[in-house]
Amino acid sequence: MTMIRPADATDWPAIWAILEPTIRAGETYGLDRAMDEAAARAYWLNPANDPFVFEQDGEILGTYYLRANQAGGGAHVCNCGFMTGQAAQGKGVARAMGRHALDHARARGFRAMQFNFVVATNTRAVTLWESLGFTTVGRLPGAFAHPTLGYVDALVMFQAL
């Protein structure tokens, strides 16, 4: 059985098993590669976030969170963070979570979704978000320090809901 459901505290070990390799690799996410588990938990399960997990046959294969991108006058635009377990990459997990996030954002009354910092060399993510209707509205030259490629661009991607 496959489902996307709200994450809870008991999911943390499985979420950390997904987050840690991505954080340590430092190729696709603007998080400190030395971030410890406590800081990662505080970041991902922040009370301002609405975290979810993608679960298949009792195994958590991916996770995402959804939150307001800004406070006040920008609170109608949401932002998300997505990570898929390495063994599940290329199997539709991120696409399913992306669709779920768009539906959930609409249900919560958000008027748009914005990704503030998509690493341009993360072509799988860029292709996925474009296929789900996102447009690149900004390019930040050399904004991401990739561990092997050096300074690469980051994209701001947007979709009205």
Q: Report yes or no on 40 lying in a domain.
A: yes
Whole domain around residue 109: which residue ranges?
A: 2-113
Per-residue pLDDT of the chain (161 residues; tens, 9 = 90+): 889 999 999 999 999 999 999 999 999 999 999 999 999 999 999 989 999 999 999 999 999 999 999 999 999 999 999 999 988 888 999 999 999 999 999 999 999 999 999 999 999 999 999 999 999 999 999 999 999 999 999 999 999 99
Q: Report yes or no on 132 lying in a domain.
A: no
CATH of the domain at 35: 3.40.630.30
Q: Report yes or no on 151 lying in a domain.
A: no
Q: Which pLDDT does position 143 carry in this prediction? A: 98
Domain count, the chain: 1
Q: How far is the C-alpha of 42 from the C-alpha of 75, rounded, in Å?
A: 21
CB count, 10 Å around CB of 129?
Answer: 23
Q: Report yes or no on 146 lying in a domain.
A: no
Q: Report yes or no on 68 lying in a domain.
A: yes
Distances (CA, A) of 78 to 27, 70, 113, 157: 24, 8, 5, 12
Q: Report yes or no on 152 lying in a domain.
A: no
Q: How far is the C-alpha of 75 from the C-alpha of 56, rounded, in Å?
A: 32
151 - beta bridge partners? Answer: 145
Q: Report yes or no on 42 lying in a domain.
A: yes
